[in-house]
Amino acid sequence: MKRFFSLRKCLFDAFYRNDNSDPMEDCFLWAILEGLRRLGTRAVPVNKITARKDHKCVRNCQIEAGHTYFTDESVIKAKRDELPKICVGCMAMILYFKNVDNLPPTSYTHWDVEILAPVKIEKENTSGP
């Protein structure tokens, strides 16, 4: 097993949702927040919210109470319940296909599976996929 997972792999695993990945894992939330930071001013401001009740994502995914979802901050005039919600998996997919892993890192580059925390690695070829 590899020790380091790239940002790209964490984003892919978050939206792929195979039997071995839970979209609420810390590595997936790190990857999404790092991806959003890398977009910087090119991104619409996004709110990270913990659901108080069950919701549906804009793509009809289930967002359970206690799980994280994201909303677009530019929809300020809408009532809170009317805001379009994006689940962790869908946000990861958006960032994956925007190729945020090719943008300069803002803080960390990889997820270390031994210490369960993000790390910065200078050499990209040590990370695997």
* Res 23: pLDDT: 59
Strand partners, 119: 110
Question: Does the residue 127 lie in any domain?
Answer: no
Mean pLDDT of 54-83: 78
Question: Does the residue 128 lie in any domain?
Answer: no
* Res 125: pLDDT: 46
Expressed as residue numbers, the domain containing 94 is 4-120
Question: Does the residue 104 lie in any domain?
Answer: yes
Question: Does the residue 129 lie in any domain?
Answer: no
Tell me: the pLDDT tens digits for 112-121? Answer: 888 889 999 8
With cut-offs at 50, 70 and 90, classify the pLDDT of residue 126. Answer: very low
Q: Which residues contact 97 (CB under 8 A, 6 or more apart)?
A: none
| CA terminus-to-terminus distance, the chain | 12
Question: Does the residue 126 lie in any domain?
Answer: no
Question: Does the residue 82 lie in any domain?
Answer: yes
Which DSSP category does 107 fall into? Answer: S
With cut-offs at 50, 70 and 90, classify the pLDDT of residue 22. Answer: low
Mean pLDDT of 105-117: 89
Asked if 7 and 27 touch (Cβ cutoff 8 Å), the reply is no
Q: How many domains does the chain have?
A: 1
Question: Does the residue 77 lie in any domain?
Answer: yes
Mean pLDDT of 50-76: 85
- The tokens describing 98, both together, are 């925007």
